[in-house]
Chain A
Amino acid sequence: MRVGLFVTCLADVMRPSIGLATLELLKREGCEVIFPEGQTCCGQPAYNSGDRHTAQEFARKVISEFADVDYVVIPSGSCGGMVKTHYEELLNDSPEYRARAQWLAARTYELTDFLVNVLNVDSFDTTFQGSITYHDSCAGLRELGIKKQPRKLLDRLNHVEVKEMSGPEQCCGFGGAFSVKYGDISSRIVDLKCDDIEATEADAVVLGDLGCMMNIEGKLRRRGNHKTKVLHIAEVLTGLVGNETE
């Protein structure tokens, strides 16, 4: 099975451990992993800022890069949602690319969805131990229906206890450019998220989107919380965590 890894621009630059952990998970299951070297971004920043033309260029680029794989796996619900639910509409003025966008969408999976629903992985070898609380990032949840998948995976870990927060589906306030353009509002929203996370007293908050992770981690630390870890689910499933992978 040829699996294309779309690592996402944010993970590439900010937190490569997410890519390494994803790679590890796929390899362990015997996938032949392809990493198209020219990959950068899915185009969402342009799309959401209203620059449709540039977003189309990115969509065509991604479609061409992943033209000969059986699956594309993305460790992000937000970028996965972009490819799976927006490319087709974005490219609807070109019948050729529209069809190719459909083709790609059908093969593209968010990581946890792929592990549960395509690979049926049932055990993980990880060094991670402790209690965690899972935050459902918006695009993964509402565009791709990622809700049970990560919980199923976490349930299979022997030394991990899941403590649900009161509002796991409540937006963390990241929203891409929103977090910078409307910093005050964004910061207030994530403050409330942090209250909810801390109330669980979990050792770590785990999620599947680096944008939201940076937002939450940045806020927790500014609040003086240096204890609660902020982890990507791929990091938890492999034990390859954050900076330790350098």
Chain B
Amino acid sequence: MEITSQQFKAVSSSKLKDAKLQKALKQAKGGFVVSRAKVVKELDNFEEIRQAASDVRDHCLAHLDSYLEEWERRAQEAGTVVHWAESYEELNSIVVQIAQDNQVKKIIKSKSMVGEETGLNQYVEGHGIEVKETDLGEYIIQQAGEHPSHIIAPATHKSKDDVSELFAEKHKRPRLDDAEKLTHEAREILRPHFLDADMGITGANFMIAETGSTVIVTNEGNGRMTTTMPRVHVAISSIEKCLPTLDDFALMMRLLPRSATGQVISNYVSMTTGPKRAGDKDGPEKFHVIILDVGRTRVLGSELRDALRCIRCGACMNHCPVYQNVGGHAYGWVYPGPIGSVLTPAYNGIENAIDLPNAATMCNQCGVVCPVKIPLPDLMRKLREKQFEKKLKSNMEHWSLRLWAYLALRPKIYSIVTRVMARIGRILGGDSRRIRRMIIVGQDWTKNRDMPAPSGRTFRDIYLNKMNKR
């Protein structure tokens, strides 16, 4: 997917004014946060589980090479064809090659964020092969020609009204207003595609080394149909999604649905180990897994390594005050919210997403909910340090900070300057004791807010005066 993160500031400002989007975001926000809080409360050892999961992910990343090898060996023993892709282009062309080798005309697809990274749909369609997204959210945005705005709820930026309109237009049927009826209509439209598709593409939430399996965690039956109905199944994933054992997977499953949607368990958990065997009732004749490493190995050896623990639950964005108000598209790439603000620059180069690590209040509402304890604000700060080292900060920011630091490290001058500033500020504040318009610095503060004026004397001044009088 093309990256547009450099437009974050302008896009986010326009998103704040987009009444339709704001309505949809408001509807979405409460739901996930409230239901997560409820199920987390039901467990009395949630923090212990989080720690254990974080440890497992760390262990796995520390021995990733050997777990991936083990996974590959087991997968091959089960009859899976394993491919490794070191670029987006490579992954996409492997998919097309598999499709061409198997005379595939139509592909049904279940959600995959890796597929979003590589721009898979467009590429495959460019080779004359039809692709149908079958996850309801993905189906909606495919119809609308958009990108996901959330990693587990891709169409969360759309209200029910938007969907009603979209379906009426695309399906050329009468407009429906009921969510259930809309879902039903999408199913009806999709059903024939399930029956005549030659290939199914899914993502994989995890790859389990000890069994050589891939796993998908979903709430809709489409995932299971995509893995079992077509002749060929291709799962795409990335290297960091490996887990050593089934027990580890069980541990992740105590956290993933709870953190994501506030469910104790997702509606479906589908594990695939190789293609259909003799005697199996269903399953694909051929099963390919393509594993991507774009950026991952580099991040593994960097200070941002903790970010690779991510299990893509979406809790960090659901709880982020910035995401809650601007939505996912403003972030300009595949992964939005706090984890996106780390992964986007980490995978695409920090100079291509300067705003993202800065556009955060450092409130850490993300870090405290992350099921694998990724210290997201600390990682964003590390990226800010990298930006500083590479001199990517604006001149204004750079010089105002330099000036401030120069003064604040020299207390004598500082005390005089601040005494004068406090006076001037007091005068500017006038009777209302508020500054309504600031110039040079802080214009953006006073655009929509007042700046309370200083009260006129510094604490230092008052305190030292008192002491001298004694």
Q: Which of B359, B385, B408, B432 contacts A9 (CB 8 A)?
A: B408
Of the listed stretches B152-160, B307-315, B414-422, chain A binds B414-422
Alpha-carbon gap, A123 to B456, bound state (A) = 31
B414 contacts A40, C-beta separation under 8 Å: yes
Chain A CB within 10 A, most for which of B387, B433, B448, B458? B448
Q: Give me the 10 closest cross-chain CB pairs, A-B, nearest first.
A: A183-B444, A175-B361, A50-B384, A50-B388, A16-B459, A171-B363, A19-B459, A187-B448, A38-B411, A138-B363
A106 to B439, CA, bound (A): 41
Partner of A171, one of B361, B441, B445: B361
Out of B387, B388, B434, B458, name the residue touching A16 (CB < 8 Å).
B458
The CA-CA distance from A229 to B465 in the complex, in Å, is 29
Cβ of A170 < 8 Å from any Cβ of B?
yes
Inter-chain contacts of A12 with B (CB < 8 A): 418, 458-460
> 1/0 per position for A7-22, CB-CB distance to B under 8 A?
1010111111111100
**Number of residues on chain B facing chain A (CB within 8 A):** 65
Select the stretch in A41-49, A113-121, A124-132 that faces chain B.
A41-49
Contact check: which of B9, B421, B449 meets A222 at CB < 8 Å?
B449
Give the CA-CA distance A7 to B461 in the complex, in Å.
13
Candidates B367, B408, B451, B464; contact of A218 at CB < 8 Å: B451
Q: Counting CB contacts under 8 A, is A71 at the interface? A: no
B321 and A187 form a contact (CB under 8 A)? no
Interface SS, A side: helix
Contact with B along A186-216 (1 / 0, CB 8 A): 1111111000000000000000000001110
A230-245 interface with B by 8 A CB criterion: 230, 242-243, 245
Interface size class of chain A, counting residues whose CB lies under 8 Å from the partner chain? 35 or more
Q: In the complex, A217→B325 CA distance in Å?
A: 21
Q: Choose from B367, B448, B456, B457 the contact partner of A142 (Cβ within 8 Å).
A: B367
Cα–Cα distance between A186 and B326 once the two chains are bound (Å): 11
Whether A160 is near chain B, meaning CB under 8 Å from some CB there, is no
A228 within 8 A of B: no
Which residues of chain A come closer than 8 Å to B442, judged between CB atoms?
180
User: Could you tell me if B454 and A14 are in contact, using CB atoms closer than 8 angstroms?
Assistant: yes
Given contacts A47-B381, A49-B384, A219-B450, 16 further A-B contacts (CB under 8 A): A13-B422, A45-B404, A49-B388, A52-B385, A58-B405, A138-B363, A138-B365, A143-B364, A183-B447, A184-B12, A184-B13, A184-B444, A184-B447, A187-B448, A218-B434, A245-B462
B-facing residues in A116-160 (Cβ within 8 Å): 138-139, 142-143
In the bound complex, what is the Cα–Cα distance between A9 and B409 (angstroms)?
A: 12
Known: A12-B418, A58-B409. A48 touches B361 (CB 8 A): no
Selected contact of B359 from candidates A13, A38, A178, CB within 8 Å: A178
Neighbouring B residues of A139 by C-beta, 8 Å: 362, 364
Q: Is the interface of B mostly helix, strand, loop or mixed?
A: helix
Q: Shortest CB–CB separation between residue A233 and chain B, in angstroms?
A: 17
Which among B381, B409, B432 is the interface contact of A57 at CB below 8 angstroms? B409
Distance from A159 Cβ to chain B, minimum over Cβ atoms (Å):
25
Can you list 11 A-B contacts (CB < 8 A)? Answer: A12-B418, A50-B388, A51-B388, A51-B405, A138-B365, A142-B368, A181-B359, A213-B452, A219-B448, A243-B433, A246-B456
A87 CB within 8 Å of chain B: no
B9, chain A: closest CB distance, angstroms:
7
Q: Which residues of chain A are near B422, meaning CB under 8 Å? A: 13-14
Give chain B nearest CB distance to A197 CB in angstroms: 14
Cross-chain contact B397 with A49 (CB below 8 angstroms): yes
Name the one of A35, A50, A185 contacting B12, with C-beta atoms under 8 angstroms: A185
B322 at the interface (CB under 8 A from A): yes
Set of chain B residues within 8 Å of A45, measured between Cβ atoms: 401, 404
In the complex with contacts A170-B321, A175-B360, A48-B384 CB distance below 8 A: yes
B59, CB-defined interface residue at 8 Å: no
A180 to B361, CA, bound (A): 11
- Give the residue of A47, A143, A181, A222 whose beta carbon is less than 8 angstroms from that of B448: A222
B386 CB contacts on chain A under 8 angstroms: 50
Among B421, B432, B463, the residue within 8 A (CB) of A19 is: B463
Chain B nearest CB, measured from A180 CB (Å): 5
State A186–B359 Cα separation when bound (angstroms).
9
